[in-house]
Structure 1
């Protein structure tokens, strides 16, 4: 019996700014909470293909597992939690919004 499909989001880096971005139903957002949560494997694959074709806007698109137990997507792995926080060398980008 195959294991259930883990909810995912499409994530990538913005081509010009380098920021981590997440695919929404109708575009991209820098906030994981805005991401479209994909619960169907075939639909997720299609959304990933669509993202990968946006070569003038994004780079390195892939599917990332998310935890939806609290009603909003949250990183399911350390790597994604690290990416979601923004740059780690000094406060810029997303981190400036936290101050």
Structure 2
């Protein structure tokens, strides 16, 4: 009997890298529509239960097969001021952008686009 893959603790969000530009993207729901990608981590869909996490994983698998993103995986988050914040340094760092210039990039509010990617 094969062991089931261990899932990250919930709540969690799905992040990936856009295949064309390499930017970090997050799964979100565009209104009442289907899942899509955004560069804004505050808009990420938060999976609070197994059904929601399964939905995110299915979306990731489809997007990987469609060559839209790479390195898609669930990330456990804490909710701070109403927004999901990754619990681990690597993923938190990915949401902020370059570290060599804190006055530029996502940490300075640049490059965050609420509209879906693709």
Q: What TM-score do you get using the length of structure 1 for normalisation?
A: 0.79
Q: CA separation in 1, counterparts of 2:100 and 2:67? A: 27
Q: Distance in 2 between matches of 1:68 and 1:93?
A: 22
Displacement of 1:34 in angstroms is 0.8
Structure 1 residue runs of 5 or longer lacking an equivalent are none
Structure 2 residue runs of 5 or longer lacking an equivalent are 1-8, 31-35, 112-118
Q: Displacement of 1:41 after TM fit? A: 1.6
Counterparts of 1:58-77 in structure 2, within 5 Å, are 58-77=69-88
User: How many residues are treated as equivalent by the alignment?
Assistant: 94
TM-score (norm 2): 0.67
Cα RMSD for the two superposed structures: 2.3
* Distance across 1 between alignment mates of 2:38 and 2:78: 18
